[in-house]
Structure 1
Amino acid sequence: MSTNTNAKFILIVDDNSTNLSVLSEALSGAGFRFRVAMDGESALTLVERNHPELILLDVQMPGIDGFETCRRLKENPATKSIPIIFTTALADIESKAKGFALGAVDYIPKPFDQAEVIARVKVHLQLKHLTESLEEQVRDRTTALQKAQVQLVQQEKLSSLGEMIAGIGHELNNPINFIVSNIEPLQEHITGISEILHLYQQEYARPSPKLKDAIEDLDLEFVLKDMAKILESLTLGAEMIEKISTSLRTFSRSDSETKSLANLHECLDSTLMILQHRLKGQGDRPQIQVFRAYGSLPSVLCYPGQMNQVFMNILANAIDALDEAIVQGKMQERVPQIKITTKITSEERIVIQIADNGTGIPESIQERLFEPMFTTKPVSKGTGLGLAIAHQIVVEKHNGTLSINSQLGEGTVFVIEIPVENI
């Protein structure tokens, strides 16, 4: 018998030395490694340390009998898949039914026929290996299907979102140009009319009673000053709409087959602009403050549209987390905040941290956040694909990493890291 503690082996559990001798001789002659235990307690301890491939388990033993030993092994998720063959002199149907109900795969009657023992052991080992192979294939196929689904959803979402936003940006472009191009001549006209009115007032210092009443009713001096302020407001509004249009066009940049150089700060700013309506205060919910701690970054070779989607998914999740914390009354002593930090490392890698000061994410959930279809949100609020898509874009499309660091009660930080040169 091999002394290698990591080698696969068959465990023989029997309190009778003759039975142990017969089974040991049969397994050894067939080339199997094996170990022995004289009672149920010893068997459970040995299995806990090193899982066997199969267990030959006597039913009638002092202390913990075979049935109870089997029950405990099958209740343990770590050992429930180990095949158990009962070895017993009990031939009644009730005992056999009880053993199968507990999870045993077979019975070998006593006294033993060595050829039968080896035949049954080989059959159940083969069935175990086939089952494991099938389960592995199912896992691989499931992973591949999930990956394909994520890719399809990502492409569809990115395409639909890009087309929609590009369309909105295009529709905004014409009226914006119309407004902006007319502001300057309107300013000149208002200035000219104001000057002529002042000249009239100087040359006709005594207007007729009717004209005087009209000037007083209109409050001409106030109107002339207010028109200038209104024009300033129109100019400011047009500039803001122009920035929104620019942000929309930046966000909706279509990805070609080749990567292009992009300013990631512009990508972040355009995403924040699109999410502006969700950052504003609403009713009793205070405004979510956004702090930018941007470092000096070079242009990055990437898929800008896909990186925008990463930023959108992570920032939207941060806003959702803060909204939920506020609704649950867990932000009463804190102002909701999102902080975005960027830097470049000495290894020429871009690091982007997006942090919120919400309630944090439990560690047990953190491990599954990037799994396709996993979500902590209600059915109508999330698909479980946002972070999975973001992870796929960063890791597979940009040779980077996407990680999470969260402490309950303190908040969550998502860390994106990609190389400057994505060849």
Structure 2
Amino acid sequence: MKTTLEQGTILIIDDNPTNLEVLYGALDGNGYDILVEMDGESGIDQVKTNPPDLILLDIMMPGIDGFETCRRLKAHEISREIPVIFMTALTDTEDKVKGLNLGAVDYITKPFHKEEILARIQVHLKLRQMSLQLAQSNERLEQRVQERTAKLTGALEELRSAQLQLVQAEKMSSLGQLVAGVAHEINNPVNFIHGNIGHLTDYIESFVNFLNLYDNCYPDKNEKIIELREELDIDFLIEDIPKIMASMELGVKRIEQIVSSLRNFSRLDEMEKKPVDIHEGIDSTLLILQHRLKASPKQPEIEIVKNYGNLPDIECYAGQLNQVFMNLLSNAIDALDEQAEKRPHPGKIIISTQTLPENLVRISIKDNGIGINEETRNKIFDPFFTTKSIGKGTGLGLSISYKIITEGHHGSLSCSSQPGEGTEFTIEIPLKYTDFSDRNNFLDRPSF
């Protein structure tokens, strides 16, 4: 059993039995494993099946000579790095240069001298061993460099992702504060108007009753009063004023609904988990996006179809779920807007909710756009991946949504799409909030 490369395997390729006997005698007893072949073709086959550590190669042989044998050995991946020492009686410098150019490392001239053969073999086996050790060291070093580079690259990507997620969270939080502030400011005058509409309605009704009583008690009126009554069309006013008041009441209620939806969407007062009606969150999100759903000179109207199931309140972070709804619905609208000219039918977004076994809830948001291919679908949840033009998307919306659902709510967010048939995003989350102690810093931040 050889312990080092210096006691390795040596292949002798020589067609002369006398030379083989001399070489075998010189090498035998020095710890080498010796293989013998008598022509170039057989030597090449031997190398392929049992690669040696060094080759002693005769130049003058029948069939292919030593030069051609060396050329073929150096052309093959298995034998390319095995050192080849030529054995020859030739003394022509041109032949030596030719052999060295073909890849040989040394020459042994005939007649052979045992000490010279052993010395040259030992030197080249040592060089071979050092070369292999250096190659192994370089390989290990390169592997460590690659591993370190991969770690640094991963850390850089994580840092970049965390920074952009922080910016996104701050942006959403600021927007939530703005929405909540606007809702609060609108709510004050609306409450004032709503509170006084009832009094004003009562006052007008009292004036009308008084006017009717006056008409009944004093049917004969002054001509100026009659003219002014006709000029003001009092009968029409008496009929129309209740309609105006009812319309104002309806408008105020509509504003109150909008304010309520804005506050529901922002959820700034709900930083902790609590049972909520997610349908309210979806409706509030749709209200925020209403201006993008309406028809415009550039885009047709987008129809919203709601297939809401009978869901109980879900224990969750309502603000974060609303952010997910905003991202998914905005992407669906973007897709329909960009593909408006390619779609043969009006844009439609179908929102479906249902309960599933094992206390799960499924929310589906599906559009009827032209869909996305599999290559794109496999990347859509990757941070910074976006198909939108520069300035229209950061590639973080779906990535953040995926984190909120999977890490923040122990659920799943998936996408299915068939080109030409639209795209569907499906959320599945537990009805009951479980242990979220592993949430990262981003998900610990209140958002809307």
Query: TM-score, normalization: structure 2?
Result: 0.69
The alpha-carbon distance between structure 1 residues 410 and 207, as it changes in their structure 2 partners (threshold 3 A), is farther
Q: Is the Cα–Cα contact under 8 Å of residues 87 and 109 in structure 1 kept in the other structure? A: no
The alpha-carbon distance between structure 1 residues 180 and 60, as it changes in their structure 2 partners (threshold 3 A), is farther
Q: Is the Cα–Cα contact under 8 Å of residues 162 and 252 in structure 1 kept in the other structure? A: yes
- The match for 2:104 among 96, 110, 115 is 110
- C-alpha separation between the residues in 2 aligned to 1:286 and 1:321? 13
- The match for 1:421 among 432, 443, 448 is 432
- C-alpha separation between the residues in 1 aligned to 2:200 and 2:270? 42
How far does residue 172 in structure 1 lie from its aligned partner after superposition? 1.3
Question: Which structure carries more relative contact order (alpha carbon 8 Å, separation 6+)?
Answer: 2
- C-alpha separation between the residues in 1 aligned to 2:379 and 2:178? 31
- The match for 1:242 among 232, 253, 256 is 256
Structure 1 portions without partners, runs of 5+: 1-14, 28-57, 71-83, 91-107
- C-alpha separation between the residues in 2 aligned to 1:382 and 1:85? 54
- The match for 2:198 among 168, 173, 184 is 184
Partner of 1:262: 276
The alpha-carbon distance between structure 1 residues 247 and 265, as it changes in their structure 2 partners (threshold 3 A), is same
Partner of 1:358: 369
For 2:44, the aligned partner's letter is S
- C-alpha separation between the residues in 1 aligned to 2:269 and 2:218? 67
Report matched runs for 1:24-423 at 5 Å. 24-26=51-53, 87=81, 109-111=103-105, 113=125, 114-254=128-268, 258-283=272-297, 285-326=299-340, 329-331=341-343, 333-423=344-434
How far does residue 414 in structure 1 lie from its aligned partner after superposition? 0.8
- C-alpha separation between the residues in 2 aligned to 1:20 and 1:210? 129
Q: Is the Cα–Cα contact under 8 Å of residues 295 and 344 in structure 1 kept in the other structure? A: yes
How far does residue 365 in structure 1 lie from its aligned partner after superposition? 1.2
How far does residue 256 in structure 1 lie from its aligned partner after superposition? 6.2
The alpha-carbon distance between structure 1 residues 222 and 23, as it changes in their structure 2 partners (threshold 3 A), is farther
- C-alpha separation between the residues in 2 aligned to 1:217 and 1:257? 60
Q: Tell me, yes or no, if structure 1 residue 17 matches structure 2 residue 29.
A: no
How far does residue 310 in structure 1 lie from its aligned partner after superposition? 0.6
- C-alpha separation between the residues in 2 aligned to 1:257 and 1:217? 60
Give the secondary-structure state (helix, strand or coil) at the position aligned to 1:195: helix
For 2:199, the aligned partner's letter is P
Q: Is the Cα–Cα contact under 8 Å of residues 351 and 415 in structure 1 kept in the other structure? A: yes
How far does residue 398 in structure 1 lie from its aligned partner after superposition? 0.7
Partner of 1:75: none
Give the secondary-structure state (helix, strand or coil) at the position aligned to 1:374: coil
The alpha-carbon distance between structure 1 residues 22 and 325, as it changes in their structure 2 partners (threshold 3 A), is closer
Greater shift, 211-220 or 162-171, is seen at: 211-220
- Can you list the C-alpha shifts for 1:19-50, whole angstroms capped at 9, x where unaligned? 936983349xxxxxxxxxxxxxxxxxxxxxxx
Larger Rg: 2
For 1:412, the aligned partner's letter is T
For 1:303, the aligned partner's letter is Y
- C-alpha separation between the residues in 1 aligned to 2:428 and 2:284? 20
- C-alpha separation between the residues in 1 aligned to 2:321 and 2:205? 47
The alpha-carbon distance between structure 1 residues 126 and 22, as it changes in their structure 2 partners (threshold 3 A), is farther
The alpha-carbon distance between structure 1 residues 149 and 26, as it changes in their structure 2 partners (threshold 3 A), is farther
How far does residue 140 in structure 1 lie from its aligned partner after superposition? 2.7
Computed over aligned residues only, the root mean square deviation of the Cα atoms, in angstroms, reads 3.2
Query: TM-score, normalization: structure 1?
Result: 0.73
Partner of 2:445: none
The alpha-carbon distance between structure 1 residues 26 and 158, as it changes in their structure 2 partners (threshold 3 A), is farther
- C-alpha separation between the residues in 2 aligned to 1:19 and 1:165? 81
